[in-house]
Amino acid sequence: MTQASETATRSASKSVAGKTVAVVGATGAVGAEMLRCLEASSIPTGTLKVFASERSAGKRFKFLGKEVEMQVLTDDAFDGVDVALFASEADISQKYVPIAVKAGAVAIDNSSAFRMDASVPLVVPEVNGNLITPKQRIYANPNCVAAIMVMALWPLHQAGKLKRVIASTYQSASGAGRPAMDELEEATRAYLKGESYLPKVLPHPYAFNLFSHNTTIGEDGYNGEEQKVVKELRKIMSLPELRVGVTCVRVPVLRAHSMAMTVEFADKVSVDAARTLLAKAPGVKVVDDRAKNHFPMPVESSGQNDVLVGRIREDISDPTGHSLALFISGDQLLKGAALNAVQIAEKLP
């Protein structure tokens, strides 16, 4: 059988009497990736409902060989929906997730609206997929940094019991959506032409520059992104006392976030043991070639489902030998958002 015929057969099998799936915010950067991930997933999508802004209503596209029309979100939009994927802002999710659940759907929300709600699991399937149960109707998708970071931390925690994480992030434009990605491209073109460019989306010049993550700074000096990472790592891994220090920085990269981490364990984990554990971990790819100085890079993690992990070495500042340093890179739009949401949906009972 040819690849084309295999694809056609797979598409046809998914389209027969399958689930009714809704995607909210389908025209955004995350929403567009959700549709691609959904099409490639094992979810038997028989009917797809797609919701976007009024200016996108009526637009058509192909999904599993069938034509689908963009619709405007309304209070009765979720009638008959089995699974609702939200790639929307928190205010939209806060309003429509309860409506979707009341209509009988299971809601998987990518916004911050429900992440710290004690009644809502914050799920990364490779870490705490056991929280996906028949009775649960709402699931929260983590912050992109937390989702990517935990992919490397969790396998190591199984061996050494995490005590402390110190991290610096190198976050791409995709984390602020398509408008920020467009601004980076426009600002770069202007810079190379010697022209001035006034930022419209982000607070500082973006081309050939980096700056503290563009969220509000709290009284403690930490910005909103950093606060999310601390709280969400603890919740995902069920480690409420985990010590976390993080500095989040926006860098002029279009897509994929990278992170430098120093990790302290209760029990010693050797470099070789860490490399072996990470190589076996689902959703992780070890890129750690010291001879060629080849380690995780956003240019290589962009478009990849796996989180790349490398620069695995002892932390020479810790005389106890209980700390490791490593560097990771993962696609913010995929494992940091859309892919993780679809993976949750795939595991629904």
CATH code at position 107: 3.40.50.720
pLDDT tens sequence across 153-208: 999 999 999 999 999 999 999 999 999 999 999 999 999 999 999 999 999 999 99
Our measurement of the distance from residue 216's CA atom to the centroid of its chain's CA atoms, rounded to an integer in Å, reads 21
Per-residue pLDDT tens for 78-88? 999 999 999 99
pLDDT band of 3, cuts 50, 70, 90:
very low
Interaxial angle between packed helices 339-346 and 29-40, expressed in degrees from 0 to 180 and rounded to the nearest 10: 40
C-alpha distances in Å from residue 280, one per residue of 78, 183, 277: 40, 39, 5
- The greatest distance separating any two alpha carbons of the chain, rounded to the nearest whole angstrom, comes to 63
Q: What is the pLDDT of residue 283?
A: 98
Please report whether residue 338 resides in a domain.
no
Q: Mark whether 199 and 263 lie in a shared domain.
A: yes
Token readout for 113 is 């609206």
Percentage of the chain modeled with pLDDT above 70: 95
Rg (CA), the chain: 21
pTM for the model stands at 0.92
Q: Does residue 185 sit in the same domain as residue 109?
A: no
102 plus 151 within the same structural domain: no
Examine the domain organization and report whether 161 and 220 are in the same domain. yes
Tell me the C-alpha distance between 301 and 334, whole Å: 10
The reply to whether 234 falls in a domain is yes
| Residues with a known catalytic role | 144, 257
Q: Which domain holds residue 281?
A: 146-332
Rounded Cα distance, 219 and 57, in Å? 42
> Residue 142 above 80 pLDDT?
yes
DSSP state of 289: B
Average pLDDT for 250-278: 97
Q: Where does the pLDDT of residue 56 fall: very low under 50, low under 70, confident under 90, or very high at 90 and above?
A: confident
Residues of the chain above pLDDT 90, percent: 92
Read off the CATH number of the domain in which 291 is found: 3.30.360.10
Q: Is residue 16's pLDDT more than 70?
A: no
Assign 1 a pLDDT band (cuts: 50, 70, 90): very low
Assess whether 100 and 157 both reside in one domain.
Answer: no
Q: Could you report the per-residue pLDDT of 220-256, keeping only the tens digit for each?
A: 999 999 999 999 999 999 999 999 999 999 999 999 9
Q: State the pLDDT at residue 84.
A: 98
Question: Does residue 157 fall inside a structural domain?
Answer: yes
Confidence at residue 17, expressed as pLDDT on a 0 to 100 scale: 55
Are 45 and 64 spatial neighbours (Cβ–Cβ below 8 Å)? yes
pLDDT in tens, 96-119: 999 999 999 999 999 999 999 999
Q: Which two three-digit tokens encode residue 114? A: 């429900």
How far is it, in rounded angstroms, from Cα 223 to Cα 215? 6
Q: How far apart are CA 319 and CA 82, in angstroms?
A: 54
- pLDDT by residue (tens digit) across 334-349? 999 999 999 999 999 9
Contact between 86 and 117 under an 8 Å Cβ cutoff? The reply is no
Instruction: Please tell me whether residues 67 and 161 are part of one structural domain.
Output: no
C-beta separation of 138 from 294 below 8 A: no
Looking at the predicted structure, is the pLDDT value of residue 9 above 60?
Answer: no
| Statement to judge: residues 184 and 102 lie in one domain | no
In angstroms, rounded to a whole number, what is the distance separating the alpha carbons of residues 15 and 7? Answer: 12
Q: Residue 55: what pLDDT?
A: 83
Indicate whether 171 and 312 sit together in one domain. yes
Last-in-domain residue among 113, 137, 168: 113
3-state secondary structure of 83: strand
> Please, where are the H alpha helices in 193-258?
224-236
Q: Please indicate, yes or no, whether residues 104 and 164 belong to a single structural domain of this protein.
A: no
